[in-house]
């Protein structure tokens, strides 16, 4: 399952670059608040997308630190390279199980809104590779969708009808996540549940964020299909009113 996403068209990437600031940055900020990033640290951001969060981390580690951002979607990596340049920052097209290619001992590995794309088996394999790259006592922090709203939220129901979740998200319980981390060699594992109410200007705004976040190649086509289904399934809803979408996540912290 680790090779699910390798490309996304330009409109989807550009939309994600802008619209991910609404929610994904909030998820990332909440995650890294749980650790104390120090100057001169070497950090890898796994599933960095278009680099919004990776860039912020590069400022935290200072000129003597170093930050690597990796993502399997080549168009997102190119966007990150185009938008963000710092001497201590670099972006690379790679999957999470390829972190060893940099031959760097990292103080921390971070991953936001990415690990729910891996099966439990792939998580163990990927986490083992991450474990190898960390210094002794190095930190691995990640978050992933809890998926408990998938049968209740309107957007999730519509996406399910379009088959957007087929072999897409993989939900693990807190106990399963702890077990996965332990199998990969980590200790001091902590899993916390966190809800994120996200406000959108209107339904179109929500649909565009939701679709860009699903990494679809045919971005505009999926947007049109989702809006059409929404209008058919919920004819009494106003498409112009502000919308609150509640995203539910697990925040996970562990140490080598």
The pLDDT > 70 percentage for the chain reads: 85
CATH number of the domain that 74 lies in? 3.40.50.150
pLDDT of residue 226: 84
| More confidently predicted of 131 and 200 | 131
Sequence-distant (≥ 6) Cβ neighbours of residue 60 within 8 angstroms: 37, 39, 41
- Each residue of 112-130: pLDDT tens digit? 989 988 989 999 999 999 9
For residue 3, pLDDT over 50 is answered with no
What element of type H or E holds 107? strand 106-111
Contact at 8 Å (CB) between 63 and 72?
Answer: no
CA dihedral (46, 50, 56, 58) positive or negative: positive
Cβ atoms of 45 and 53 within 8 Å: the answer is yes
Domain residue limits at 28: 21-147+168-199+244-255
What tens digit of pLDDT does each residue of 64-88 get? 999 999 999 888 899 999 999 999 9
**Residue 210 within any structural domain of the chain:** no
Q: Per the domain annotation, does 234 fall within a domain?
A: no
CA dihedral for 176, 7, 197, 244, sign (positive or negative): negative
pLDDT range class, residue 23, cuts 50, 70, 90:
confident
pLDDT band for position 164 (cuts 50, 70, 90): low
Q: Count of domains in the chain?
A: 1
Tens of pLDDT along 183-233? 999 999 999 999 888 888 888 888 888 777 766 556 778 888 888 888 898
List the structure tokens of 110.
């971070």
Nearest-angstrom CA–CA distance, 33 and 222: 34
């Amino acid at each position: 399952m680790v090779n699910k996403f390798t490309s996304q068209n330009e409109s989807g990437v550009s939309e994600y670059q802008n619209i991910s600031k609404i929610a994904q940055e909030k998820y990332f900020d909440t995650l890294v608040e749980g650790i104390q990033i120090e100057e001169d640290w070497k950090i890898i951001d796994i599933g960095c997308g278009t680099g919004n969060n990776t860039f912020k981390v590069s400022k935290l580690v200072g000129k003597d630190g170093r930050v690597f951002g990796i993502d399997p979607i080549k168009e997102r990596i190119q966007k990150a390279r185009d938008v963000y340049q710092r001497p201590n920052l670099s972006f690379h097209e790679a999957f999470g199980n390829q972190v060893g290619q940099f031959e760097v001992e990292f103080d921390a590995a971070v991953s936001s809104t990415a690990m729910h794309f891996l099966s439990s088996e792939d998580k163990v394999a990927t986490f083992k590779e991450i474990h190898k790259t960390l210094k002794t006592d190095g930190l691995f922090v990640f978050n992933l969708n809890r998926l408990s709203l998938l049968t209740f939220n309107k957007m999730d129901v519509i996406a399910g009808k379009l088959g957007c979740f087929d072999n897409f998200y993989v939900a693990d319980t807190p106990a399963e996540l702890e077990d996965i981390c332990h199998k990969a060699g980590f200790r001091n594992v902590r899993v916390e549940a966190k809800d994120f109410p996200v406000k959108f200007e209107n339904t179109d705004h929500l649909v565009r964020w939701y679709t860009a976040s699903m990494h679809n190649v045919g971005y505009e086509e999926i947007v049109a299909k989702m809006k059409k289904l929404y209008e058919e399934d919920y004819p009494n809803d106003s498409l112009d009113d502000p919308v609150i979408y509640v995203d539910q996540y697990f925040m996970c912290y562990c140490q080598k």
